[in-house]
Amino acid sequence: MEIKWLKTFIIAASYENFRQASEDLFLTQPAVSKHIQRLQQELGDNLFEKKGKYIALTEAGRFFLPHAQKMVRAYEEGVGNFKLWKQGYNRKLTISAAPQIAASVLPSLIKQFVERYPHIEVTVNITNSFQVGKDISDRRSDIGLTRMLPGQADVFYELIHKEKAVLVAPFSVGARTEQELLSSYRLLTNNHPVYWEDLLLQIKACYPHIQLLPVTQVEITKRFIEEGLGVSYLPFSMVKKEVENQTLSVISQQKNYPAFFTHVYRNKRRNRRNKAV
């Protein structure tokens, strides 16, 4: 039984059409038919049946399909691991990270990690904060980094970083106070999935007449601030580079606003297995 027969079968089953399978696989239609025939001979049963102009999986085909998919996945994983070994890697780490973390603290963390563990291949999946926990639960990633608490029961989380919200303004504002800025600039909100509901209640209690401008992405928020379109409250780690480059300023605040928590996620089942090793 050859892997190419299995791959042809899986693609043909997804389309239930040999012509479309041949186009997808860059094979001739007779080559596709030959792969299926050889696989059927090996198994001793028909995997497809004709229904007019179309084909459909037989009962045997439906039974065999998940097994074929499992065999192809195992083959591809084995080949992939072998290629990593040839390149000098002996392990692989997949990280799911929320965009806010990926754009701020993640690069330095990865730099430290690869310097310490040069033989581990690192893959980073940038996804929204709500998806990080699902990636860990479904084992698509080994660890996750986000500022939200997980909603999945099988996800273990640990606090690894805490920082305060800071008021960020255009660099040109100079030594102006929080009250002066909030009375003359719009407050850019909704750029972070965790803290704005509680934060707005506190701010409105002190400055009830502020004008709001929702901007749902941190990077866009920073560009708006640089252009003088408003001010916002952000984690300092997200604006550190702009402050150093003197395009944004951090303004002294009168109150302590909510803190930002960065959590690392791991799958509980995988975590227990690792501790047992």
For 191-242, the pLDDT digits (tens) are 876 778 888 888 888 888 899 999 988 889 999 999 999 999 988 888 888 9
Between 11 and 195, the more confident residue is 11
- The span from the CA of 238 to the CA of 81, in Å, is 36
Q: Is the dihedral of CA 162, 163, 165, 171 positive or negative?
A: negative
pLDDT greater than 80 at residue 85: no
> DSSP character for 148?
S
Find all residues with CB under 8 Å of 60, minimum gap 6, and list them.
43, 45, 46, 47
**pLDDT at position 139:** 86
Q: Are 242 and 222 in contact (CB under 8 A)?
A: yes
Task: Give me the mean pLDDT over the 146-163 stretch.
Answer: 83
Model-level pTM?
Answer: 0.53
Q: Which of 33-37, 39-43, 83-87, 206-210 has the lowest mean pLDDT?
A: 83-87
The C-alpha atoms of residue 97 and residue 123 are separated, in whole angstroms, by: 11
The number of beta carbons lying within 10 Å of the beta carbon of residue 200 is 16
Higher pLDDT pick, 119 / 115:
115
275: confidence class by pLDDT, cuts 50, 70, 90: very low
Which stretch of DSSP H or E encloses residue 157?
Answer: strand 155-170
